[in-house]
Amino acid sequence: MIQDTKLSTKKVAVAGMLGAFSVVLSMTPIGYIPIPFFVGVNNATTMHIPVIIGAILGGPIVGVLVGLIFGISSFLRVGTSFFADPLVSVLPRVLIGVTSYYAYRAFKHPIAAAVVGTLTNTVGVLSMAYLRGYLPFTAVVGVAATNGIAEVVVSSIIVLIVMKGLKNYKID
């Protein structure tokens, strides 16, 4: 996997494709995987997974671009009132790419990137929703404890499988 911050045409194309994939996930049922064995969890979201994969494959700039596309799509598709705030819907999604890349770089394993990227999404969105006054602290803790765990497990499995399939792929 490439580790520089140079932005090539190939990296822009990969960022665009993964960003589009993230948007498609958000508009279809495959963006929400039912997790019946976790108490209180209806669905684990998967829209952040392309951001993590982009960061691993292309570095922090590709991760930021995919995260920006994901965040803007969340902002434009306002399903909950707090997603109309770009500090909740966009900022945490941009940071997924940065934290995922550096976790992958530090630990040299896609599961580390998946865990850190997923936690960045969950903690970032919920923290901003709390700090901006959209959710009470008890709701934030409840969602983080249930959905957060399920999303870490799901993203770790999916990212590991995808990266094993792409083990020889490099973005120059």
Q: Give residue-wise pLDDT tens across range 19-46.
A: 999 989 888 888 877 766 555 555 678 8
* Domain housing 116: 9-21+44-165
What is the number of domains present in the chain?
A: 1
Looking at the domain assignment, is residue 34 inside a domain? no
Which CATH number characterizes residue 113's domain?
1.10.1760.20
Q: Coil, strand, or helix at residue 2?
A: coil
Taking the C-alpha atoms of residue 47 and residue 171, their distance in angstroms, rounded to an integer, is: 22
Is 170 contained in some domain? no
* pLDDT tens-digit map of 114-155: 999 999 999 999 999 999 999 899 988 988 888 888 899 999
Amino acid at 16: G
**For residue 53, what are the contacts with CB-CB under 8 A and spacing of at least 6?**
18, 159, 162, 163, 166
In a domain, 28, yes or no: no
